Chains A and B, each alone.
Chain A
Amino acid sequence: MKAKILFTAILSGLIILSSCKKALDYTPKGVLSSSDLKTPAAIEGLVTAAYAAIGNGDMIGPIYSDWAYGSVRSDDAYKGGGGTSDVGEVDALEHYNLVTPSMDSFVSRTWKNLFKSISRANVALKAVNSLSEADYPNKKTRLAELKFLRAHSYFTMKLLYKNIPIFDENATPDDILKVSNTLSNEDSWNKIAADLQYAIDNLPATQPELARANKLNAQAYLAKLRLYQAYEQDEKHHVININKTRLQEVVTLTQAVISSGKYSLSADIADDFLPETENGPESVFAIQFTINDGTTAGRLNFEDGLNYPHGAPQYGCCGFHAASQNLVNAHTTDVNGLPNFDSFNNSIADLTKVTVDPRLDHTVGIDGHPYKYDNTKPFSNSWVRDPGVYGNFHTMRNQQLATSSSYFKLGPFMGSAKNYDIIRYDDVLLMQAEAYIELGQQANALPLINQIRNRAAASTGRLKKIDGTFPSNYNVKPYTLANWTQEYARKALQWERRLEFATEGARFFDLVRWGIAEKTLNDYINVEKVRRTFLATAKFTAGRDEYLPIPQSEITFTNGLYKQNPGY
């Protein structure tokens, strides 16, 4: 009996004492903690991750391709796809008046993705700051690169949402939740500009690694920023003044880039749209994409993944981003090879009869014309997905041939490893031209614009049909000093920008910058809705539709800290 009691006592003891402390220890596997990230090598990794972030695109929350925000929202293109409800958020953007702050796709995802990119820069900045220059010789350069990257994301955000919260790497999470978006327009431009100025002051003109930001990149970017800043807006987005000092800065900054001699126009504008010629002389700063790089599909641009011809067997999806009739008409030229400024949209251009700017065939997919320079597979109306709604035109600048080594189809959608140019040399030239014109020095702008036009005229080498003839009658000529008044020059500059960057997404932001979005777009809708009845209910409301709403979710997540943009 005693043995039994003893036995029981031991057992009971075992039960009670078996609560050893180690039982609940657990170390996460395959991950790092903050303390692991203190070495220069690890910090280089954080910088690389910050670069990666600017290319971490999202098809329904884009951060670099402006096909939806800049092209479909402008007079360049329609949403396309299978009817208006297919990716209805872009239809809302196209109609303007359907955009709501609670749209999850696009409006809110883009905001989120841009802040991911900003936070990667901030995390890396903080880590770089923690080391001394002795321990980390790259310190200054990397700080400058990271500030450049941060400025890029903030700039993108500023164009889309205007009123945004801006903070730096020293802000703790608690601080961030106190930063509202009520900073004045001027102050927020200057905050972003300060990052770019730091980059200018601390970056070398040439980096050992091509894709890293350099001094000239920062100068070009700051020029772009100052140009936007020059057109001063009131709270209702109305342009109230054009600031000459800012314009002068644009001239100076662009001149630094131009006179460096590092960049130049490619011989053929097609070089800007093909992977074989990427990182060419015209590419000032580009987001790098790669394929066959050990990732599943490659680090590809999928933001344009819906925008390939639907009915073409080599693609098979999805027919988004269709060029507008207005854009096609805008390419027509008169006998002098100049735009039909006032009459271009009076009728539907008969492309067999009119003369056009060759950039049309670099931009728009047209029945019977080579598509993306492949004359063995000309574009066909049977490739169009929903002609009843969106007509028969398509776009091509940011699409690649299915046979291209940069092309990859994942599921139904297409990715491409072609870099995405953020600033090209043609943009630098036209920025300077614009600044000169608004400064009243339009004569200085003429040769700049004409460089662009002459290059366009020369860009026909890849456009021939298989029978050796051109699909369109090209006639584009430079402007002359005759009649080159400021007003005429402004019109010419605006036209030139439209064609040079057609469907690339610059258009809408240009219109807002110039303060002519409301007039241009409602005029466009009034004509276009007769041709494409789906636009019947579209209407641009000044004082609201220049910018996207602040996502409702972000206002809620911050307990109402952010102020909604006017009109929403």
Chain B
Amino acid sequence: MITGTVLDNASKPMDGVTIGVVETQKSVLSDANGKFSISVATGQSIRFSYVGTQPIVITIAADTKVLNIVFKDAANALNEVVVTGYTSERKKDLTGAVAVVDLAPVKNNSSGNTMQALQGRVAGLYIEKDGSANGSTSRILIRGANTLGNNNPLYVIDGIPTTRPEVFQNLSPSNIASVQVLKDASAESIYGSRASNGVIIVTTKNGGNTQGKVQFQFNNSTSVQSEKSLRFKMLNSADRGKALWQASVNDGQDPAAGYGDIYTFNWNGNYNNPVLNSVVPKQFVGGDPNTPAGDTDWQSVLYKTAMVYNNDFTASIGNKNASLEINFGNIKNTGLVRFTKYNRTTGSINGVVRAFDNKATFGVNLKITNSNETLTTTDLGGAATTFLAVTLAPTIPVYQKDGVTYAGESGAGYSDRNNPLHMQDLAKWNNANQVNTFGNVFLEIQPIKNLYFKSNFGADNADYLSKVITPTFQEGALARTTNSLFFDQNHYLSTTFSNTLRYNYDLNSNNHFKLLAGTEYIKTFTDFQTTLKQGYAIQTEDYFTLDAGTGNTIVTGRSTGNSLFSQFARLDYNYASKYLASVTVRRDGSSRFGSNNQYGIFPAASFGWKIDQEGFMKNNTIFSELKLRVGVGRVGNQEIGDQSRFTLYDTRYGTTQNQLTPGFWEQYMNVGTAYSLSGANTGSLPSGFVQTQAANPGLKWESTEEINAGLDFTILHDKISGSFDYFTRRTTGILITPPVASALGEGQSKTVNGASKSNKGWEFLVTYHGQQSGDFNYNVTLNFSHFRDKITDLPENVRPAYPGNIDNTIIGHSQFDIFGYKTNGLFQSQAEADAAPTQIGAGPGRIRYVDINHDGKIDANDQTWIGTTLPALEYGIRIDLTYKKFDLSIFGSGVAGRKGFDVYTLYNNLMHSRENVGPGVFDGWTPQHTNTKVPALTLKDNNNESRTSDYFIVNTSYFKLRNLQIGYTIVPKAVFTRLRVFAMAENVFTLKSKNYLSPDPERIDLGPVPIPKVFSFGINASF
């Protein structure tokens, strides 16, 4: 009998190495600790084989009792241990669609958001982002949009689930041990109720065995962000005057009547043959001698170069019985938009203690994040400063003559928009503070061999405090006359208590069983509170405290909560490492559903067949690994309000609609129940009650059923490895709160299980491991993914809430598709316009709309599906090269098959009477200039040309070189064990369709902060 351990090149134990006696054909597998024992006679040979490695054969000498084997080339990803829900598996034994995220590129990430760094790197994970200082991510979809509401995935961090993406996004990358994305229902269903949008499993580091030595790691980087090359080209003061003149004259309107306060037009006054001699901006804005007219490029005014400082420090120590890792990180972003900033500090302590010969493990993980941010704001009318930077009239100067006082519009012809720099300056005292505490303690014991009991208690706690100071101001003709201090505060606490029992049972050397059973209880509370105080005599940051205000005080608040209780079980079966099967079932109860339907059952099964292990594959030289996976499963969704099942009456003293459904106009809409019955003009009012919601006691779980088929392969002597997955899923009983006939009255809407969606797609991942030649090494990884989701069933009365009309409903389309008119060039003459179907506003030089329903008139029924905001294909490519001590990585990703809105066309091709436009308008149609796509300039737009139409729809596919990094590693003699310096460039260039005129296809409208180009320099040091 010989015993021993198998280790990989990183001295980590290797699980599942086949150890066979050549002579007897007898074989065993190494266990999770890499240990094995096998009976062998002296002189016989033992063959250690493992997928993706060269087998090692050793002849047993007479005195051999212990064999310790090291696989020097065992870097194959298939050996990774993957956390798949309350337990773990080796990647090669996986039967579901699970993506293991390569963390190397995440480490140096200038955005501070780990999620952003994953964009384009994981097949099937679709991410949209913007350039906000806090690294916010606007849309995260795993395998597309499966429901009509919230499509956010579930995060499971150290076994504790949370639906708050910020917990993951704020993790320090150097603290993360592994990230897995569970994509299909068979993998997800162990997480049951909340897994229908996919699950992202994160495990953090807890030290590891450092042989009792303290190890330090330090990562530092400094980044420079700039959006300069991504600006929209807009007109200067004089050119805008020309365009306004042309448009006015086209309209038969005296340009001086509309814009005489802004420009002096010198022209021949002949509308039939207009000739412009000159156009000169008026010396002063609104005739105010303190405000000389400007020629302002608002984009250069609002944006600046941002600096990002990223520091991260880790200390770890451990031996075979205990380990500890402490991490501290800080990121500071000085903001692309002036007066914005972001600062985040994270800290974590993870520790593990093992006792009783590793039969008991006790661990604790704690992460605390504190962030402060001041972000972009809006003007008085609710327009984002980022929008104003593109569209505000250039004749408004930034400052008045004194160079200090902000200038604004005044006089006829301007919009009612504010100076965006002024707005940001006024908002500079705003601050949103978030403190997130996320952690868990667990105890795992092994009372008898192969039986493990684990109890895990976790808490996700978030405190949010946003302070908004709105000072009064006068800016040109625009003013805010009441100042106020506003606090928005909420407190969120979710606690999770889970208990699991695992039992590994090997019937014989070929039949291996793994059993898991467990329960989980999750309770969540949220308290919301807002306080508004008006009337501050002095406008300094320090004076704005609640006590100092003398005006109205408005306090609002509410509380809500929910609980989930779940039971689950799982059985894994492995036959001779050839046939794999896994069956899971989970029963979930949610307080959000009525007592009849509180529980939902979510089963799944998956099978794997390792074809390469079959006898007939023994002699093949192509495949070193080939595995077929098939899975089916069901997962649920309960993303509705905590109180959706109840009939509720509410007292609403002075509530406005925006307190219920945020919106700009809604802040002016009273929905309160108080009324001055006495006829007095002021004072406190008698108030009443109003029904706010109708009950639906029959509300039940929304469920998604999915079939997934996948193939994993490694071919050509491990040179190429990859996987392909195909999935089809169907979501039924989608939870929606449809609008109802208004006649039913106020508060009659209720949440129902009302719609269905289907979704199909595939993912393909392939890696080429370059042949090592000398000091040169390289790998190329490509990933592709595709999904198309569509609504298959939606009750007729719900359809008006989505795009579409009676003839062209949304059935068969995604909620992210674009609905609008088709166009067919420009009318070239009045005769052409007269002969065409009746179109109000038609005329020479006007856009011709297509009469889709052939009823002889252009109206709302002539709309159809003209584009989509989600791509047909997303792909990424990553190339890693090393040469001696240099390393280079190139990463790019893109989308294809996306036809969407080009926002610049709206401002470059069409005139706007209030907003600035691009130079494209000078290509506008005139009787003399007919060969153009740009309609005749008009300020009246009687033809309503800004309506959604395919005039604005172009191919919005793109490829971006997202990250280019070059590093140099030195191993110094003293102090440091490893030191790497690197330089990195992000968003280096973009390839896009030449018809797409906006600078960045990822910035689909003018609201979000542009995604900047970034240049970073940094070091990664270990000592």
Which residues of chain A have a CB within 8 Å of any CB of chain B? 1, 4-5, 7-8, 11-12, 14-16, 18-19, 23-26, 28-34, 36-37, 42, 44-53, 55-61, 82-86, 88, 95, 97-98, 100-102, 111-112, 115-116, 118-120, 122-123, 165, 167, 173, 176-177, 179, 209-212, 275, 278-279, 288-300, 302, 305, 310-314, 316-318, 381-382, 384-389, 402, 406, 408-413, 415, 417, 533-534, 536-537, 552-554, 556-559, 561
Chain B residues touching A, majority SS: loop
- CB closest chain-A residue, reference B560: A29
For residues 908 through 945 of chain B, which have their beta carbon under 8 Å from a beta carbon of chain A? 913-914, 939-942, 944
Q: Which residues of A contact B942 (CB under 8 A)?
A: 84, 534, 536-537
Contact indicator A292/B683 (Cβ below 8 Å): yes
Contact indicator A291/B559 (Cβ below 8 Å): no
- Give the residue of A289, A295, A311, A411 whose beta carbon is less than 8 angstroms from that of B412: A311
Contact indicator A386/B479 (Cβ below 8 Å): no
- The distance in angstroms between the C-alpha atoms of A526 and B411, with both chains bound, is 30
Is B280 located at the chain interface by the 8 A CB criterion? Answer: no
For residues 259 through 280 of chain B, which have their beta carbon under 8 Å from a beta carbon of chain A? 259, 261
Q: Which residues of A contact B667 (CB under 8 A)?
A: 410-411
Is B665 located at the chain interface by the 8 A CB criterion? Answer: yes
- The distance in angstroms between the C-alpha atoms of A294 and B257, with both chains bound, is 45
- CB closest chain-A residue, reference B449: A4
Q: Which residues of B contact A289 (CB under 8 A)?
A: 676, 681
Q: Which residues of A contact B474 (CB under 8 A)?
A: 313
Is B642 located at the chain interface by the 8 A CB criterion? Answer: yes
- Give the residue of A95, A115, A212 whose beta carbon is less than 8 angstroms from that of B743: A115
- The distance in angstroms between the C-alpha atoms of A499 and B962, with both chains bound, is 67
* Closest chain A CB from B957 CB (angstroms): 31
- The distance in angstroms between the C-alpha atoms of A463 and B676, with both chains bound, is 31
Contact indicator B654/A293 (Cβ below 8 Å): yes
Is B859 located at the chain interface by the 8 A CB criterion? Answer: yes
Q: Which residues of B contact A48 (CB under 8 A)?
A: 673-675, 677, 686-688
Q: Assess A559 versus B797: contact at CB under 8 Å? Given A18-B499, A387-B257, A409-B481.
A: yes
Contact indicator B944/A275 (Cβ below 8 Å): no
* Closest chain B CB from A314 CB (angstroms): 8
Contact indicator A295/B554 (Cβ below 8 Å): yes
- CB closest chain-A residue, reference B380: A412
Contact indicator B381/A412 (Cβ below 8 Å): yes
Contact indicator B742/A112 (Cβ below 8 Å): yes
Contact indicator A556/B796 (Cβ below 8 Å): yes
- Give the residue of A23, A115, A318 whose beta carbon is less than 8 angstroms from that of B745: A115
Q: Which residues of A contact B805 (CB under 8 A)?
A: 102
Contact indicator B648/A33 (Cβ below 8 Å): yes
* Closest chain B CB from A389 CB (angstroms): 7
Interface digits, B440-462 against A, CB 8 Å rule (1 contact, 0 not)? 00000001100101000000000
Q: Assess A37 versus B745: contact at CB under 8 Å? Given A29-B559, A388-B253.
A: no
Contact indicator B681/A275 (Cβ below 8 Å): yes
Q: Assess A290 versus B681: contact at CB under 8 Å? Given A388-B257, A411-B667.
A: yes
- Give the residue of A14, A50, A55, A409 whose beta carbon is less than 8 angstroms from that of B480: A409
Is B404 located at the chain interface by the 8 A CB criterion? Answer: no
Q: Assess A288 versus B676: contact at CB under 8 Å? Given A30-B559, A412-B416, A537-B840.
A: yes
Contact indicator B675/A52 (Cβ below 8 Å): yes
Question: Which 3 A-B pairs rank lowest in CB-CB distance, beginning with the nearest?
Answer: A295-B654, A119-B745, A388-B258
Q: Which residues of A contact B654 (CB under 8 A)?
A: 293-296, 298-299
Contact indicator A12/B743 (Cβ below 8 Å): no
Contact indicator A26/B562 (Cβ below 8 Å): yes
Q: Assess A23 versus B521: contact at CB under 8 Å? Given A31-B643, A120-B690.
A: yes
Q: Which residues of B contact A411 (CB under 8 A)?
A: 380-382, 480, 667
Contact indicator A31/B650 (Cβ below 8 Å): yes
- Give the residue of A19, A402, A533 whose beta carbon is less than 8 angstroms from that of B567: A19
Would you list 27 pairs from A and B whose C-beta atoms are within 8 A, ordered by A residue? A15-B519, A18-B499, A24-B590, A26-B561, A48-B686, A48-B688, A52-B688, A55-B675, A56-B671, A61-B669, A115-B744, A122-B745, A176-B744, A177-B743, A291-B682, A296-B532, A382-B411, A384-B412, A388-B255, A388-B412, A388-B413, A402-B481, A409-B479, A413-B668, A533-B253, A534-B942, A554-B743
* Closest chain A CB from B244 CB (angstroms): 10
- Give the residue of B563, B860, B940 whose beta carbon is less than 8 angstroms from that of A24: B563
Contact indicator B447/A7 (Cβ below 8 Å): yes
Contact-size category for B: 35 or more
- The distance in angstroms between the C-alpha atoms of A229 and B656, with both chains bound, is 36
* Closest chain A CB from B413 CB (angstroms): 7
* Closest chain B CB from A351 CB (angstroms): 19
- CB closest chain-A residue, reference B805: A102
Q: Which residues of B contact A28 (CB under 8 A)?
A: 560, 642-643, 646, 648
Contact indicator B672/A295 (Cβ below 8 Å): yes
- The distance in angstroms between the C-alpha atoms of A25 and B595, with both chains bound, is 9
Contact indicator A49/B690 (Cβ below 8 Å): yes
Contact indicator A211/B675 (Cβ below 8 Å): yes
Contact indicator A83/B914 (Cβ below 8 Å): yes
Is B691 located at the chain interface by the 8 A CB criterion? Answer: yes
Contact indicator B688/A45 (Cβ below 8 Å): yes
Contact indicator B940/A296 (Cβ below 8 Å): no
Q: Which residues of B contact A288 (CB under 8 A)?
A: 675-677, 679
Chain B CB within 10 Å — which of A51, A381, A417, A552 has the most?
Answer: A51
Q: Which residues of A contact B859 (CB under 8 A)?
A: 100
Is B812 located at the chain interface by the 8 A CB criterion? Answer: no
Known contacts A33-B649, A290-B676; 18 additional CB pairs below 8 A are A28-B642, A32-B648, A37-B689, A55-B675, A101-B860, A111-B742, A212-B677, A289-B676, A290-B685, A292-B682, A296-B552, A299-B670, A313-B477, A317-B416, A402-B481, A406-B681, A533-B940, A556-B797
Contact indicator A211/B745 (Cβ below 8 Å): no
- The distance in angstroms between the C-alpha atoms of A340 and B680, with both chains bound, is 42
Contact indicator A296/B554 (Cβ below 8 Å): yes
Q: Which residues of A contact B681 (CB under 8 A)?
A: 275, 278, 289-291, 406, 417
Contact indicator A18/B676 (Cβ below 8 Å): no
- Give the residue of B518, B671, B682, B684 whose beta carbon is less than 8 angstroms from that of A15: B518
Contact indicator A316/B674 (Cβ below 8 Å): no
* Closest chain A CB from B143 CB (angstroms): 30
- CB closest chain-B residue, reference A4: B447
Contact indicator B689/A32 (Cβ below 8 Å): yes
- Give the residue of A24, A388, A534 whose beta carbon is less than 8 angstroms from that of B598: A24
Q: Which residues of A contact B941 (CB under 8 A)?
A: 83-85
Is B355 located at the chain interface by the 8 A CB criterion? Answer: no
Contact indicator B684/A293 (Cβ below 8 Å): yes
- The distance in angstroms between the C-alpha atoms of A452 and B653, with both chains bound, is 40
Contact indicator A31/B447 (Cβ below 8 Å): no
- Give the residue of B253, B501, B683 whose beta carbon is less than 8 angstroms from that of A11: B501
Contact indicator A45/B673 (Cβ below 8 Å): yes
Contact indicator A115/B453 (Cβ below 8 Å): no
Contact indicator A302/B668 (Cβ below 8 Å): yes
- CB closest chain-B residue, reference A299: B670
Q: Assess A55 versus B670: contact at CB under 8 Å? Given A389-B258, A556-B799.
A: yes
- The distance in angstroms between the C-alpha atoms of A381 and B941, with both chains bound, is 25
* Closest chain A CB from B32 CB (angstroms): 21
Q: Assess A56 versus B416: contact at CB under 8 Å? Given A37-B689, A386-B913.
A: no
Is B565 located at the chain interface by the 8 A CB criterion? Answer: yes
Q: Which residues of B contact A167 (CB under 8 A)?
A: 743
- CB closest chain-B residue, reference A34: B647
Contact indicator B679/A316 (Cβ below 8 Å): no
Q: Which residues of B contact A294 (CB under 8 A)?
A: 552, 554, 653-654, 684-685
Contact indicator A385/B565 (Cβ below 8 Å): no
- The distance in angstroms between the C-alpha atoms of A64 and B591, with both chains bound, is 42
- Give the residue of A30, A84, A88, A177 whose beta carbon is less than 8 angstroms from that of B558: A30
Contact indicator A18/B670 (Cβ below 8 Å): no
Is B739 located at the chain interface by the 8 A CB criterion? Answer: yes
Q: Which residues of A contact B286 (CB under 8 A)?
A: 311, 382
Is B4 located at the chain interface by the 8 A CB criterion? Answer: no
- CB closest chain-A residue, reference B672: A52
Contact indicator B412/A385 (Cβ below 8 Å): yes
Is B366 located at the chain interface by the 8 A CB criterion? Answer: no
Q: Which residues of B contact A14 (CB under 8 A)?
A: 499
